[in-house]
Amino acid sequence: MKKFKDIVYIGVDDTELDLFEGQYVVPDGMSYNSYMIKDEKIAVMDAVDRAKIAEWLQNAEAALDGRTPDYLVISHMEPDHSAGIAAFAAKYPSVTVVGSAKALEMFRNFYGCELPSALVVKEGDKLSLGTHELTFVAAPMVHWPEVMVSYDSKDKVLFAADAFGKFGALCNETEDWACEARRYYFNIVGKYGVQVQALLKKLAAFDIAAICPLHGPVLDENLGYYLSLYDTWSSYKPESEGTFIAYACVYGNTKQAAYALKDELESRGEKVVITDLARCDLAEAVEDAFRYDKTVFAATTLDGGIFPVMEEFIRHLKAKNYQNRKVGIIENGSWAPMSGKLMRALLEEQKNVTVMPTVITCRSSVPADIHELCARLADELLGD
């Protein structure tokens, strides 16, 4: 961290990880970030996942350069950030572990032992390291209940826990921060938009020069861009105008209808993204549904219900508080098309989701008037 001479990065990359949290594909790996503030007293900010404890301890030892750490500040007790606590305390027995009361309780629950020395902090508490002073800000349910972010007044650095994080190891970092940050946000933090909004309001009182998240790069330029995206995402507003078409089919006819609608929309200048739910990364489909202001759900009927991958997708969206969108429906069913009715029922459970009146129904093959139906649905989707 070249801009801050007293703050050293001691985190690690895991480039062998295939699934983060057992479900999210991470082709570029994952970073587990940890930082060290070197002042009259030394504070280490967060630990790492158990797979990388040894490497993290080596990084910390090198950064300490013969000194002894005074504090280990834990902002978030999820195991990918807390697994190294016991090993760190064993290596440096005089260290004081700092965290919220709930975080320290979770430590006992996770690891079945007590810390040799602990300091409970709450909203507004301060910790002086010398010229650096940390102010603690409670961030409950962003995205766990014990989360506490901290602000260093000297360098104006926010240590942001999982907020502003992203998928990908730092050694594989690309310029497109938003893509993997968006997928990370909506799948991991997205349910808790109200709580993220509450944190953003608290952070408005601080002069922030850099954001140090627990995953992904340090953000120290164009902070308005990142804060604006987080405000948009956490208020469930569409980020971009466009239509996301998600389809799930058996013999290709539903797909054909979905592509006919895509062609119609694109002929009118609409941005369209289309995906086969059976073959895509479901987390990426969730990201796209939240990114655009319109979504079309196209699915066949199976056993009197919704084709399973589509039902799973809609329930994923519901769990993440999908709202404030216009949606269209394409259904298929050879003798008893039911998927449209069932998808509508699930979607109308969401806040401010407007289902278009035109439903394109395929009875096995694409109907002869598919172009007229697509034109009608496009009129509704693109209308005021």
pLDDT tens by residue, 158-176: 999 999 999 999 998 877 8
The pair of structure tokens assigned to 384 is 């005021």
Residue 115 pLDDT greater than 90, yes or no: no
Residue 291 pLDDT greater than 90, yes or no: yes
Residue 73 pLDDT greater than 80, yes or no: yes
User: Which pTM value belongs to this model?
Assistant: 0.94
The number of angstroms, rounded, from the C-alpha of 84 to the middle of its chain's C-alpha atoms is 23
Do strands 305-306 and 272-276 pair parallel, antiparallel, or not at all (unpaired)? unpaired
CATH 3.40.50.360 in the chain, residue ranges: 240-382
342 or 107, greater pLDDT = 342
- For tokens 């603690």, the residue is 136
pLDDT bracket for residue 108 (50, 70, 90): confident
Model pLDDT for residues 82-93, shown as the tens digit of each residue? 999 999 999 999
pLDDT of 1: 65
In whole angstroms, what is the distance from residue 77 CA to residue 65 CA? 27
Q: Could you tell me which of 309, 285, 271, 295 has the C-alpha nearest to residue 350?
A: 295
In whole angstroms, what is the distance from residue 179 CA to residue 328 CA? 25
Model pLDDT for residues 29-54, shown as the tens digit of each residue? 999 999 999 999 999 999 999 999 99
At the fourth CATH level, the homologous superfamily of domain 240-382 is Flavodoxin domain (3.40.50.360)
- Is 3.60.15.10 the CATH number for 7-234? yes
**How large is the average pLDDT for residues 222-247?**
97
Contact at 8 Å (CB) between 43 and 134?
A: yes
Model pLDDT for residues 334-345, shown as the tens digit of each residue? 888 999 999 999
**How large is the average pLDDT for residues 11-21?**
96
CATH 3.60.15.10 in the chain, residue ranges: 7-234
**Residue 248 φ then ψ, to 5°:** -145, 120
